[in-house]
Amino acid sequence: MIMRIALVSKLWEETSSNSRGGTGSSVGQLANELVRRGHKVTIFGTANSNTRAKLVAVQPRPFRGDYSEIREYMNIAEAFKREKDFDIINTHVEHKACFFAPLVKTPTLVTIRYGEFFKHETELLRANKNLNFSANSQALKARLSFLRWRGHVYNGVDLDLFRFNDQPRDYLLFLGRISPQKGVDAAIRAAKRLKKKLIIAGKMVDEDAEFLQKKVIPHIDGKLIVYRGEVGLSAKIKLLQNAEAVLQPIQYFEACSNTIIEAMACGTPAVAFNKGSNRELILDKKTGFVVKNEAQMIAALKKISDIKRGDCRRRAEKLFSVERMADGYLALYKKIKKRK
């Protein structure tokens, strides 16, 4: 059955298969796969988004120091104003969809991709707990157990792009925003302790300036600790393919790490702190290591050669392909429409 599907994306990043943002990338890949299967898909996102779907945009480009809450809600409202054009509206804007979904008759799936909510945001979710919700991990479902979950669908990765490599080079990789929340300072300390080259790739922002000046920049020497800046898709894939391991010493709840999934697709194991869904994504001691602290991370890195890179790729193929992601969402759409 061909469906008319609205996908409401975030305005913090463009929506495309090669977006640097996790939501933009996941929604972009989902849109492309749904269109490939013949469904009629409309994306509500930034004007520079690039997918096979029809695009409706109120914001020319992602927010860069010019955040507008009004624009965010205008983007969401555009989808719900057109409710009669769709068989289902699937939002990927966290709690904000709760203001709109109860007002329309068209079935709505509210996808939650994030685990850290403030008091009033949580209150909003609780007040609308009987809407149709989906998560991108079981850990997120458990964290917000009061919601009416219809299921969970992991983020997907394009396995044709993130190709397997069984011959890594001699370096570790930290990929993500260079911030205290992501734990880049822990990655630096571990690399220096092991005397292992660490390549850091990601954006630095002004709000983290004090942390960067104290904990990151003084250690960047271009030899042992190398900073590559924010990299594009091609460069990111090469870094992932050739790394011995990806470090994810995150300090907060991570609902579903695209970096871990993309690394495994390339055959690269991840060493991650036991936060959020990391223990769910990584098969501990089989496709990487899930650790509690820096000491355990260092110990795990000493054993990283025990991990078979082929096992990492096979796990990605089994659980985290774009096709698997599309299958999951289509199953949820049909379930929700059936219960209308």
| pLDDT tens-place string over residues 216-269 | 999 999 999 999 999 989 999 999 999 999 999 999 999 999 999 999 999 999
For residue 285, pLDDT over 90 is answered with yes
Cα 118 to Cα 134: distance, rounded to the nearest angstrom:
19
Percent with pLDDT over 90 in the chain? 94
For residue 173, pLDDT over 70 is answered with yes
| Residues 247 and 190 sit within 8 Å (Cβ to Cβ) | yes
CA angle 12, 250, 224 (to 5 degrees): 100
List the structure tokens of 247: 């470090």
Average pLDDT, rounded, for the chain:
96
Of the listed ranges 65-69, 74-78, 137-141, the least confidently predicted one is 65-69
When comparing pLDDT for 62 and 64, which is higher? 62
| Residues 290 and 272 sit within 8 Å (Cβ to Cβ) | yes
The alpha-helical segments, DSSP class H, found in 46-197 are: 69-81, 119-127, 138-143, 184-194
Quick one: pLDDT at residue 22?
87
For residue 340, pLDDT over 70 is answered with no
Using the 8-state DSSP alphabet, how is residue 304 labeled?
A: G
Cβ partners under 8 Å of residue 306, min gap 6: 285
Cα 324 to Cα 337: distance, rounded to the nearest angstrom:
20
C-alpha dihedral (22, 26, 29, 31), degrees to nearest 10: -130
CATH classification code of 4-156+321-338 = 3.40.50.2000
Model pTM score: 0.94
Cα 230 to Cα 235: distance, rounded to the nearest angstrom:
10
CATH of the domain spanning 172-319, picked from 3.40.50.360, 3.40.50.2000, 3.40.50.720, 3.40.710.10:
3.40.50.2000
With 0-12 / 13-18 / 19 or more C-beta atoms within 10 angstroms meaning exposed / middle / buried, residue 167 is exposed
Where exactly does CATH 3.40.50.2000 map onto the chain? Answer: 4-156+321-338, 172-319
Q: Which amino acid is at 62?
A: P
Could you tell me the end-to-end alpha-carbon distance of the chain, in angstroms, rounded to an integer? 17
